[in-house]
Chains A and B, each alone.
Chain A
Amino acid sequence: MALSKRQRAKAFRMSQYALLVVVAVVLAFVADWNEIQRSFFNLDIAAEMFPNVITVALTNTLIYTALGFAFGLALGLILALMKLSPVAPYRWLATIYIEFFRGVPALLVFIALSFGVPLAFGLQFDIYSTVMLALGIVGAAYMAETIRAGIQAVPKGQIEAARSLGMSHGRTLLTVVIPQAFRIILPPLTNELILLTKDSSLIYIIGLARDQYELTKFGRETLSRSPSLTPILVVGLCYLIITLPLGHLSRYLERRTGGKKISTPESTGLGVSA
């Protein structure tokens, strides 16, 4: 029988759906539902985690991420400006910094910062400073490249207009270029905030007191006292509470700015896996 091209395409599409149904049915039969419920959906254990998972863990994750992001953004802006500077050593320093901190696992930076720096320099940071530095130092390396791309994406005519009105180079940068650059890079910056939120899970390495736990550490702690993976599921959902709205925000911003894409290879990855 001769199927038309359209009919063949339709048949092919139907077979895809059929395949998905078969896979789902097979998985449903193979799975041990009791075991799954016991290990992932143990409501007693989940209930025990409240309210601390919110009041302590989620709150700390938010605080740590915000601190790291704020510091990373400020440092990233400085690095981006250095990278665009006419002063060659500035450019070299910025490049070295960015290449180095993008190239090494964030975990190593955290270890170095929490154990190495106090030993080497006799400095003892409090927990918030350590977290801010650790997340910010790594985040800055990624954000610098995004910010640099944003600055370069500001149309040249905007700069010429500002200069022709008598604004100095620095004044132009502050008044015209940076505000416009940040509008352009808002979507990729939001993505980097999401990645930073997840990277905040790595700071368990610096050693946290009970009231300093963030989500992942809190989940592991609960896990060690209970025979179920439920805590992991709960904290996972807590991350989604933060990251899903941010993801939507990022896509909304992207639509609003007309989907103007800034091509940085970095816009996909603060991500460091421990």
Chain B
Amino acid sequence: MSVDVDSGLAVEITGLKKSFGTLDVLKGIDVRVNRGDVVCIIGPSGSGKSTLLRCVNLLEEPTGGKIVVNGVELTDPDVDIDAARTRIGMVFQSFNLFSHLNVLNNLMVAQRKVLKRDAKQAQEVALRNLARVGLSDKVNAMPGQLSGGQQQRVAIARALSMDPDVMLFDEPTSALDPELVGDVLGVMRQLADEGMTMLVVTHEMQFAREVADRVLFMDGGYVVEEGPAEQVIGAPQHERTQSFLARVLDPTHQGPSST
């Protein structure tokens, strides 16, 4: 792979290690994500994929290794992590909308308090992003009044309102009722089409296959296999990838050959 020295790389992770007490969750991860790429991280639970993602905005403090996002080394002890995080959007499995604020204020609060945008500009940005996720009619709703799918789309709009360079998705559809998953994936697909750099931890193999430029398969704290989606999901080389995909795809996969 030809690596454009600085402008082409959005995320560069080198030798990343993370332990919780005596439990080693990440045992040396190297990942590079080019600007505009969509990278899906798949793997069994406990493989460290969420921890990896949470290290990319330092919600988890790495035990070792180096993380550079948009040219800023996050693992530098003197980094202004709050400033760096404004450039990195994060979407959580459990949405985590601020439950005491309505939708508009969820989208405006960080713009106002962190980016110091004035009310007018913040509201403009908020409304634009709310329209992007198709929820313009929910401006004044409280999070508790929305379905899970709507909450997650608001959460995506909230992250986008900070104008991030990179978006991190931590199993964004895992907490959703099946019929609501499509709305969220649709928004994510549209985001990918617009050229957003995305790291997505997901169990949605179909999404990974169709949207991801690259797929990482993680197991036991290592990246076991990586490559284009078609290759990793369609024709996995590694035995562990094969058995994982067999378990994930078979129970639900209604392929033409299965009936």
| Chain A residues packing against B (C-beta within 8 Å) | 155, 157-158, 160-168, 171, 175-176, 179-180, 183
B96 contacts A166, C-beta separation under 8 Å: no
Q: 6 other contacts beyond A160-B92, A162-B98, A180-B99, with CB at 8 A cut-off? A: A155-B96, A160-B90, A162-B110, A163-B82, A164-B88, A165-B114
Could you list some 20 contacts between A and B, CB below 8 A? Answer: A157-B96, A158-B99, A160-B90, A160-B92, A161-B96, A161-B98, A164-B85, A165-B158, A165-B162, A166-B83, A166-B110, A166-B114, A167-B82, A167-B110, A168-B82, A171-B114, A176-B98, A176-B100, A180-B98, A183-B100
Tell me, rounded to whole Å, the shortest Cβ–Cβ distance linking A157 to chain B: 4
Of B88, B110, B158, which is in contact with the most chain A CB atoms at under 10 Å from its CB? B110
Interface residues on B, range: 20 to 34
Tell me, rounded to whole Å, the shortest Cβ–Cβ distance linking A186 to chain B: 12
A171 contacts B98, C-beta separation under 8 Å: no
- Tell me if B159 is interfacial: C-beta within 8 Å of chain A: yes
Tell me, rounded to whole Å, the shortest Cβ–Cβ distance linking A177 to chain B: 10
Interface SS of A by simple majority: helix
Tell me, rounded to whole Å, the shortest Cβ–Cβ distance linking A212 to chain B: 40
Which B96-155 residues have a C-beta within 8 angstroms of A? 96-100, 109-110, 113-115, 155
In the assembled complex, the Cα of A249 lies from the Cα of B236 at a distance in Å of 62
Chain B residue nearest in CB terms to A169: B82
A163 contacts B85, C-beta separation under 8 Å: yes
In the assembled complex, the Cα of A168 lies from the Cα of B110 at a distance in Å of 11
What A residues does B94 contact at CB under 8 A?
157
B82 contacts A166, C-beta separation under 8 Å: yes
What B residues does A155 contact at CB under 8 A?
96
Tell me, rounded to whole Å, the shortest Cβ–Cβ distance linking A168 to chain B: 5
Set A158, A165, A179, A183: member contacting B85, Cβ < 8 A: A165
Tell me, rounded to whole Å, the shortest Cβ–Cβ distance linking A39 to chain B: 52
B86 contacts A165, C-beta separation under 8 Å: yes
A171-B113, A171-B114, A175-B113 given as contacts; is B57 within 8 A of A164 (CB)?
yes
In the assembled complex, the Cα of A166 lies from the Cα of B115 at a distance in Å of 9
- Tell me if B79 is interfacial: C-beta within 8 Å of chain A: no
**What 5 A-B pairs come out closest when comparing CB atoms?**
A166-B86, A165-B110, A161-B96, A164-B90, A157-B96
What A residues does B99 contact at CB under 8 A?
158, 180
B92 contacts A157, C-beta separation under 8 Å: yes
- Tell me if B246 is interfacial: C-beta within 8 Å of chain A: no
A158 contacts B159, C-beta separation under 8 Å: no
Of B90, B109, B113, B155, which is in contact with the most chain A CB atoms at under 10 Å from its CB? B113
Tell me, rounded to whole Å, the shortest Cβ–Cβ distance linking A235 to chain B: 39
A162-B98, A179-B100, A180-B100 given as contacts; is B92 within 8 A of A167 (CB)?
no
In the assembled complex, the Cα of A164 lies from the Cα of B99 at a distance in Å of 16
What A residues does B109 contact at CB under 8 A?
175
In the assembled complex, the Cα of A175 lies from the Cα of B158 at a distance in Å of 15
In the assembled complex, the Cα of A167 lies from the Cα of B59 at a distance in Å of 12
Chain A residue nearest in CB terms to B89: A164
What A residues does B155 contact at CB under 8 A?
161
